[in-house]
Amino acid sequence: MEDIARLEKPKGTFRTLAHINEKSNSRISDIIRDTGLSSRTIYIVLRRLIELGLITQELSEEFPSIKCYKPTEEGRRIADHIEEIRKIVVKVGKKR
Domain ranges of the chain: 2-95
Is the predicted pLDDT of residue 9 greater than 60, yes or no?
A: yes
Average pLDDT over all residues of the chain: 88
Q: What is the pLDDT of residue 86?
A: 82
Q: What is the pLDDT of residue 5?
A: 60
Stronger pLDDT, 17 or 4, i.e. the higher one:
17
Q: What is the pLDDT of residue 43?
A: 96
Q: Say yes or no: domain 2-95 is CATH 3.30.70.890.
A: no
pTM of structure: 0.83
Distance from CA of residue 53 to its chain's centroid? 12
Distance between CA 60 and CA 71 in Å, rounded?
A: 15
Q: What is the pLDDT of residue 92?
A: 80
| pLDDT tens sequence across 18-35 | 999 999 889 999 999 999
